[in-house]
Amino acid sequence: MKESNLYFKHIYVEKDLKNSESALHIIEKIRPSFVIEINNYLEIFGRKKQSFLLQKKSPSLILAKKRSKFLYPNPIYCQDFGFERSFYSSIVLNCIFDCKYCFLQGMYSSANIVIFLNLEDFFDEILKECARGNFLLFLSYNTDLLAIENFTGIIHRIYDFLKDYRMPMVEIRTKSSNFSSISDLKPIENIILAWSLLPQELIYIFEDKTASLAARIDAINKAIERGWNIRLIFDPVIVLKENKEKIYEKFFDEIAKRISIERVKDVGVGNFRMNKNFMKKLISERPDLLRIDFENYLSFEKILKNIRETFVEKSIFIKYNFKNSYGEKDE
């Protein structure tokens, strides 16, 4: 599967930003058919009666200023990797990929992508939080920053800020193979590059427009060779009603053979979880989700055994994150 090269025909830009260096850079990189001036991004992003799935076929790009905070406490159903404090950021809203299980479909009514350009305010907020001590910051919670780095340069700007500080610890999570877009950067200790991985059979079914497993592994190996902190993410672990755990047996064999496991920093693992009411709605629009066996805990445990055998013997730290299938705490 080839990773999508998304082309935006329309770019909306808030009038106060239309002549900013950041906006002009992105417009020059993309060269859209139309650049439309707006007063506030919510004029487009916040419209009523939008169809997320319909917009996903041809989303627009919106360049805006964020007028509220950038940092939010990490939800309890996400990994914290041992940090007492963890946050996620909202530099970009929505993703160029189209994963059928993605929670963004329930969070936003619009599939248009919003990029907030006032990163200096974001950096100020980070520094204020750092005054209280170190914390873990997830940069790609609502998007995939590496996938859009070629035209945004956001990771480069964040890198230039972070290289002068020892905190926070920042994770950049991706399903992209676009490591070449940051290959000019030297690794620093407080940035972790995290790749989300699934068996190729499941990528084909559920992760439209993303990089293939082989392409992700190639990118991981390039990042390892450059000396980056690497995190592998198996979240969600998806068990199908057919084939079950056999897909994962082959998958972890490939991971163990093709990646230098001993050079991986840590691993995150979690099961599929989603709000029950939203799940019912989503299944009607995404029928492939019916292929998931949400209650097959036996197969899930066998997959976890494969994970432990692959990583624990190499002394790799694994952070588990298990809830029931609908995102609620198990007792």
3-class state of residue 188 by DSSP: coil
Joined tokens for residue 192? 């972790």
Q: Which amino acid does the sequence have at 128?
A: K
CA distance 291 to 287: 8
Cβ–Cβ under 8 Å, residues 264 and 307: no
CA distance 197 to 213: 7
How many C-beta atoms surround the C-beta of residue 2 within 10 A? 10
| End-to-end Cα, the chain, rounded Å | 40
Tell if the pTM clears 0.85, that is, is over it.
yes
Binned average pLDDT, 10 residues per bin, the chain of 331 residues: 64 97 96 96 94 92 96 84 92 96 88 97 97 95 96 97 94 98 98 97 96 98 98 90 79 93 91 75 83 74 83 74 44 29
Residue 330's pLDDT is what?
Answer: 36
Determine if the peptide bond prior to 75 is cis (ω within 30°): no
Residue 285's pLDDT is what?
Answer: 82
Cβ–Cβ under 8 Å, residues 199 and 213: yes
Locus of tokens 């427009």: 209
Radius of gyration for the chain, computed over Cα atoms and rounded to the nearest angstrom? 20
Residue 321's pLDDT is what?
Answer: 65
Cβ–Cβ under 8 Å, residues 28 and 80: no
| Fold classified for 10-321 | pyruvate-formate lyase- activating enzyme (3.80.30)
Pairing state between β 92-93 and 113-116:
antiparallel
Q: Can you list the positions of beta strands (E) in the chain?
A: 10-14, 34-38, 61-64, 71-73, 86-89, 92-93, 98-99, 113-116, 136-138, 169-174, 191-196, 207-208, 229-237, 266-271, 317-321
Phi-psi region of 163 (alpha: psi -120 to 50; beta: other; left: phi over 0): alpha
